[in-house]
Amino acid sequence: MDHFRWQARIAVLGLVVFLHACGSSERPIGTTAGGSGGGSSGGESIFLNAIPPGSNGNSAGGVGAPQQEPTVPPPNFNDQLELYGNLAYARSPLKAAPCTPPNNLDEHIEQSDLVCNYYKHEGLEPDVVVSTLELTTPEGKRVTIRRDGWGVPFVEGEDRDAAQFGLGYASAQDRLWLHDLLRHIGRGRFSEYLGGFADTYAFDADLAVVAGYSEEELTAMVESARAKFGPLGERILRDLDMMVAGINAYIEDVANTSAVPPEYSSLALQVPPVDGPRFPPAPWTRNDIVASAILIQSIFAVGGGGEHENLRLLQHLDPSIGPGTTSLPEAACRLWRDLRHADDPDTPRTIEQSFATQSPARVSEDCPQALPPGTAIWDAGSLQTRVVFRVNGSGLPGAGNPGGLPQGLPGLPALARTGLPQIVGWGLAPRRGLAAPTAGSRVALRAAAPRVLRASLDPFEGARLALARAGLPLPRRMSNFIAVTAEHTQDGHPIAVMGPQAAYFLPQLLWEVAVKSNGGTDLDFAGRGVVFGDLPYINIGRGIDYAFSATSGGSDLIDIRVSRMCNLDGSPASREDGDGDGFPDADGYLFDAGDGNGPQCRRFYRRTDTWTAYPTVASGASGGSPLPEQVERFILRTHYGPVFATATVAGAPVALSIQRSTFFGELETAPPFALATTPTVKDARSFQQLFNSVTGTFNWLYVDKRDVGYIHSGLYPIRHPQAHPELPVWGDGRFEWRSMQNLPPGFFASFGGNMPYPNLATPIAQGDPMKGYFEWRDYLPLSAHPQVINPPSGMIQSWNNSPARDWWAADSNGSFGPIHRADLLVKRLQAFAATGRKHDIATMTEIAADAAFADLRAQEVVPELLAIMRFGELNADQQAVADLLEAWLADGSHGWIGAEGPGGVRLGGYRRDRDHDGVYDHRAAVVLMDAWYPELHRTILPQVRQLADAGIPVLQGEYDAPRQQGSAFQFGWFQMHKRVLQMALGRPGHTPYRALKCAGSDDPQACRAAVLAALDAALQKLGGLSNQANWDGSQLPNQAGKDGAVVEDYDAVEHTAISFYKVAPIHWTNRPTFQQVVQVKQSRNE
């Protein structure tokens, strides 16, 4: 992507991510709320955090568009950028004390050995009050919003209602433009708001089969949550209403002023201007809050749903696999199981306890493998995704169209002087050979043929990738945490370093706030943390004497159902759209409801949504049409969920539905968050019970003065014993989830056609519903979820890895292999434990930081590569390479820890510029690894390379590279590199593959030859060893798409600008976007 194109795209907004975590920090918990509390090793609780670039996301500073070129951002817009980014240059070893966290950027030191220098204090009260705003709710209750030196809002309300009103008001102050975008994106109408171009359309198309709700359905989800959770549901709706009132109060306050956020008059401005800037935005509603929840629940809180990808792989490996197959052939099965890593004995786990409690308890590793009767196998090659989106162009401009983009627009004074044309890519029209029409210009039109978009084979991933192409690169899985129990710390209290990896945006998608209410009830808030979008509660953070965080879980709560298509009149059904209405020529699907009437033709739910995608500055900058386009979205569902594809079984058409346990129940995960920062949470066990109601798949960590607690959340189905958990399942009534086996009488008479099928998941209160502990009827109970309080090992970690022993990876997730990025944390924690020393916040922070700058391939694969090279004599060049890599490995964490990792693992391999001279300390080794790695795929993994080149899924991507989004090494073929090299070396104590072999051979010398051939190819790309002084990465392609960039630049973290400004890149880091360092030393009763 050229530089111009990249700049244009980062201006477009996109989606969003969430998820995990956020922090907490406060001074002494048991003393005054504003007391001291930084890095001291005394008796005060420690709460620290950092989240770049800054708390204030209002690029106009609340005063409208700037009248001159915007060179200086408003206060607190980017002041945490250096605070966060400078951890790369910290002096080692870090120290815990004496240390006082900086109250503002001026008090921060670029290079220091003090932990708290790189974080701010996260108290429930501000240390310094820079501004105060007094508000009154519509009911006459008092609200105060104070801001500290970092611009963090501290909302205090007379009662809970008042606090929620203040939360809404403060969030609009800091994120109104972002919230406005998110409510359109969550509805799958990105193109309606920012205009139509390839990537907004692609996102909207995939969201149609991930969520794709109508406005009436959003309202129904609100009412369903109210009904399902009783009095707590009523409380949640009241909270929604008060937050909405606060947002609308802010909009009303600025509506009649000159304070038009400049993004409304730039990126979202329709071209030509239709009604001027879209400001003030339409009033907020409950449904807008639900739209933000959809993004989290339907894209980032899911796992599974890849059964059809497994079948695609198997049918490619052996085309004889078809509808009559009752057993998988051995050869195809063996390679599939190697790639699956379903329950790999060598993979790192968050807890070591066994939880063989999924449904089914285990997956079969047998080959050949008998298939249970519920397995649905279609005709090889017949799978086809469905057309879900049609764009009807209103025309294209004829030749000679005059005019150009306006240079001065209502509400945006002196636009040409602001630099915005350069930011969003104005000047695009001449480059494309088109000129955008001005208001009132006459345009000659010619007919444009409709364009159709099909759903992606993986719609969840397709939506994420569309956002990435639009300039919003979001990690597939996010976040990490480490914690040690009380007996492993110097002060006898647990320590945690934790947070969400939510990529990097400007403004940040996570918004930090402290909320306190003074109503004198058990429902009062006392918390601080981060909120995703405009959700109504702190999602991750802290309460009065505890803190909590999360990582993506990725466990299996989605299945693919296969249903025979039918017509109500008995005529043959077809999967084709012969009449052009956007739907297959079939009325429904066959299903036996168990009512004695046998299989009946049940109606599909169908709906066609339409809107107009008007061109905007943003869509024009990304190659969209300069004229309005009419959009049609075709929603088709069975009672299981959205239909995303069709196939044939023995020639007969079948529909493939996505059965997601949380579908049409996106708001039903709200109860835990409604209570997470109230006195409801008293200890680790009450936290686990509360967060059992989180329906999305996450790993939750809890710490307080005494305990470390963990729970793996999710609404996990209890499957039929004759269903295969890794392959598609018949959707005809015979092999149903337990929760769907007894449908209500008249179910199909009431739903289908033009009435959407409901979500039937039912929460059952365990005692007082206002305490928030619910079990879900006929889903996995709390006791079956991986969980622990104070793990026996004394340590716990999560980096989106396997949660527990015997808990199998979701159906098409092949990334839980013999190594994982969690090893970067695990082996440092283990090495430290081996020294017999005890932790303070400095040692824990340094372990997390070391892992954040390490290359997993260096730690885990390079030692095996060097070993296989030494199976024979090395020539001079090969010895020079070995020496270079040995030095890279030797310069590692064990230097300050005092011990190597398990098995003598050297904890080096940094991608780090510790001395801040602009060059990685081991640049040549880093660049060599980047050059060597893709060549190794070709030479030592030929079976995998051939499959991927043919477009066949191999169940994980080849490399999650360091780049703009920060998060890296979540997946990669380095996992398979490690194991095939171990096999060739004859290493003891590992689990061998059954089909995969190094270079496809059992001969170690063949493996060695393949490794050296890959090395030769890498050296050739770099100009040979004689050119080593010039190895800077510019010789290589990179995933950042920056041609000719040096490694430090293509790795660098860059904040995707969703605002009027940009901020400078920072040193690459594989670290939570919001990171908290916590040690609680007092409880609320002390």
Higher pLDDT, 418 or 355: 355
How many Å apart are CA 420 and CA 65, to the nearest integer?
A: 11
- Say if residues 499 and 20 touch (Cβ distance below 8 Å): yes
Residues with Cβ < 8 Å from 414, sequence gap 6 or more? 67, 68, 408
- Say if residues 885 and 906 touch (Cβ distance below 8 Å): no
Q: Where are the beta strands (DSSP E) in 748-898?
A: 763-765, 774-776, 787-789, 795-798, 802-805
How many Å apart are CA 957 and CA 477, to the nearest integer?
A: 13
Q: What is the pLDDT of residues 870-916, one digit of tens each?
A: 999 999 999 999 999 999 999 989 889 998 888 888 999 999 999 99
- What integer pLDDT is reported at residue 262 of this predicted model? 74
Task: Pick the range with the lowest mean pLDDT from 420-424, 459-463, 1045-1049, 1058-1062.
Answer: 420-424
Whether residue 808 has pLDDT greater than 80: yes
Amino acid, single-letter form, for residue 655: A
Q: Which residues of 1009-1038 are buried (b: 16+ CB within 10 A; e: fewer)?
A: bbbbbbbbbbbebbeebeebeebbbbbbeb
Whether residue 275 has pLDDT greater than 50: yes
Query: How sure is the predictor about 1031, in pLDDT bands with cuts at 50, 70 and 90?
Result: very high
- What integer pLDDT is reported at residue 194 of this predicted model? 86
- What integer pLDDT is reported at residue 162 of this predicted model? 99
What mean pLDDT do residues 179-185 have? 91
Helix (H, G, I), strand (E, B) or coil at 623: coil
DSSP labels, 731-779: -SSSS--GGGSSPPTTHHHHSBBTBPPPP---EEESS-GGG--EEETTB
Whether residue 520 has pLDDT greater than 70: yes
What mean pLDDT do residues 66-83 have? 77
Residues with Cβ < 8 Å from 751, sequence gap 6 or more? 605, 639, 757, 758
- What integer pLDDT is reported at residue 161 of this predicted model? 99
Mean pLDDT of the residues in the chain: 89
- What integer pLDDT is reported at residue 1019 of this predicted model? 99
Q: How far out from the chain centre does Cα 427 lie?
A: 34
Q: Which residues of 741-769 are buried (b: 16+ CB within 10 A; e: fewer)?
A: eebeeebbeebbeeebbbbbbebebeeeb
How many Å apart are CA 374 and CA 376, to the nearest integer?
A: 6
Give the start-to-end residue ranges of the domains of the chain: 823-1057
What mean pLDDT do residues 935-946 have? 98
Q: How far out from the chain centre does Cα 331 lie?
A: 35
The whole-model pTM stands at: 0.92
What mean pLDDT do residues 962-990 have? 95
Q: What is the pLDDT of residues 22-63, one digit of tens each?
A: 333 333 322 333 333 444 444 799 999 999 999 998 865 433
- Say if residues 372 and 816 touch (Cβ distance below 8 Å): no
Query: How sure is the predictor about 592, in pLDDT bands with cuts at 50, 70 and 90?
Result: very high
Amino acid, single-letter form, for residue 578: G
- What integer pLDDT is reported at residue 144 of this predicted model? 99
